[in-house]
Structure 1
């Protein structure tokens, strides 16, 4: 290589090539079609789906061994991985934790600077590395082995240091990445994510983890509101409860409707049991018939009226009101006695809907 074609020449050549490349790229962008972009997207999905199918076809008893290892774990599951593997590891840890398997993510670099102390003797570790040769493993693997902490490897290399040190290996290897240069983890990233989901869902179903338990991990969302709240948590009681006795009049019911704004008045007998209900609609229909406000409420009310059990989940109560095309209902205890009332607004205000 002559002096002219040394480093400076290469840099100049690189800049020139880059400039030409930019021009070509700009020209290609101008000439490219929507069909071309669509074809790229479809090709990406086709490659990733094909690799996912290949992973499914070779899935064997290793997933069973991994599940058994985590079912036997008395501590927590610690998930770790570098780069893109780390991002996917965080999702896998979150999926495990929200479906009945206590788990958290530890970054390998942070583990080597103190966070390794977060891993206890009763824990199990899932380490994600497609090559199985992340540099951090040189220091982490001996420490895990010294403490006899079981290790599950999610990797594409069955003969890597990670695979050899693991009690169980989950193979996410691919023949082809969707990246045309074969550099960006695409098909392998999808396989890793799917393997994590397969692991989490298998454990969840084996444990019989149910929707209410799931909601306890998500109390701040609409799912938690639907499943954790009971009718008695949200119902109106005391002075907010629209109530009159069977001996009352339509006038008494109208005043209660106006006072509480629930859209419904509960008519009770002397034992505090619901005899019927009277709604805004009932009032309009009563007056249109030419009847008076002095008439007895027992002649105007709807019998017996739909009631909601206080112990019902709020989500089930909402569905029941929608199915019956009503906006409110009395709430009764296990003995059938009136304890409150609730309407759609109360449920929506609690984030249920």
Structure 2
């Protein structure tokens, strides 16, 4: 066998063994899992995740996933907890302890303190008869038959199983809480999803003196001057009462020139697009993008409740805002 083939075979074997470990978890999801979820839902404090070594790395990820999906959570290193960080855990908190063996000394050292303070303890272990598992209010069984490591030593399948159990907890809790996409966005305001779910049209639209506008009866020539001055490639056309009459864009200009329109003597209402597509300032910028894409347009007028133009935005604005 060539080295090339051996490397591929090793990768396939690792994936197969970890997939087997995850598949075996399904048969063990039952009352203990539901009980763990109910205990977390009833917790008035936070979920404090503890673990050391590879379990610690997995614990940090589980804590982060819980926190971003509606369950207040953070990670505490057991060794640091033994040297002062135990003070970070209040009486109202719930402790989620991770240990494949269930005999991690740094975690076992914390058990009397956790019990004395009255914290609910949930464990995820690979040994349901271990000291940690038996001390917990409920234990989630993450036992695997074989690590993906050919020496059956390096935590691989076991850490994957623990991670999947953590994800299962987070998602079950998310659904039980009725956690929404908007809730998720509030936890991720700097990300692309946060921008799509939090940014509204009023945050990106051009308004006030930046909004190009002319009235019905304005000459096409003067309308073009207004368009050039504001630089949006369009202008709003208003009635004498200040309501939206239509929109005139670069595309309308090209179509007018194709028809041989006299720029100096033509009035704007003769060549504008009547009404046009509109949005309100309170809708999401992502919704405005959907309107543009659906109607194959590049600019959108923003109107108030009386159908008066108060703003405008185009694809470039949404691109700059990170909505696209």
* TM-score w.r.t. length of structure 2: 0.97
Q: Distance in 2 between the 1:200 and 1:335 partners?
A: 45
Per-residue CA distance 1:167-189 (angstroms, 9 max, x = gap): 11011001111111000111111
Q: Is the 8 A contact 1:177 1:187 kept in 2?
A: yes
Runs (4+) of structure 1 exceeding 3 A deviation are none
- Matched with 1:210 is 180
- Matched with 1:184 is 154
Farther off after superposition, 290-299 or 211-220: 290-299
- How big is the shift at 1:101? 0.4
Aligned residue among 27, 43, 64 for 1:57: 27
1:72 aligns with 2:18: no
Q: Is the 8 A contact 2:49 2:63 kept in 1?
A: yes
Aligned residue among 102, 107, 110 for 2:77: 107
Per-residue CA distance 1:20-52 (angstroms, 9 max, x = gap): xxxxxxxxxxx7342222111111111111111
Q: Distance in 1 between the 2:33 and 2:307 partners?
A: 51
Q: Is the 8 A contact 1:332 1:339 kept in 2?
A: yes
Q: Distance in 2 between the 1:306 and 1:182 partners?
A: 63
Aligned residue among 229, 242, 247 for 1:259: 229
Q: Distance in 1 between the 2:94 and 2:287 partners?
A: 39
- How big is the shift at 1:272? 2.4
Q: Is the 8 A contact 1:173 1:188 kept in 2?
A: yes
- Matched with 1:40 is 10
Q: Is the 8 A contact 1:264 1:329 kept in 2?
A: no
Structure 1 residue matching 2:273: 3-state secondary structure: coil
Q: Distance in 2 between the 1:235 and 1:112 partners?
A: 54
- How big is the shift at 1:304? 1.8
- Matched with 1:305 is 276
Q: Is the 8 A contact 2:121 2:137 kept in 1?
A: yes
Q: Is the 8 A contact 1:257 1:280 kept in 2?
A: no
* TM-score w.r.t. length of structure 1: 0.89
Q: Is the 8 A contact 2:97 2:107 kept in 1?
A: no
Q: Is the 8 A contact 1:235 1:341 kept in 2?
A: yes
Q: Is the 8 A contact 2:220 2:266 kept in 1?
A: yes
- Matched with 1:163 is 133
- Matched with 2:215 is 245
Q: Is the 8 A contact 1:321 1:328 kept in 2?
A: yes
Per-residue CA distance 1:44-95 (angstroms, 9 max, x = gap): 1111111111111121111100100000011111111001001010110010
Q: How many residue pairs align between the two structures?
A: 323
Aligned residue among 211, 233, 246 for 2:203: 233
- Matched with 2:68 is 98
Structure 2 residue matching 1:136: 3-state secondary structure: helix
Q: Is the 8 A contact 1:276 1:302 kept in 2?
A: yes
RMSD: 1.1
- Matched with 2:253 is 283
- Matched with 2:262 is 292
Structure 2 unaligned blocks of 5 or more = none
Q: Is the 8 A contact 2:108 2:132 kept in 1?
A: no
Structure 1 residue matching 2:305: 3-state secondary structure: coil
Structure 1 unaligned blocks of 5 or more = 1-30
Q: 1:80 to 1:271 in 2, by over 3 A?
A: farther
Correspondence list, 1:22-37, <5 A: 32-37=2-7
- Matched with 1:337 is 308
- How big is the shift at 1:315? 1.1
- How big is the shift at 1:322? 1.9
Per-residue CA distance 1:251-270 (angstroms, 9 max, x = gap): 12111110111111110113
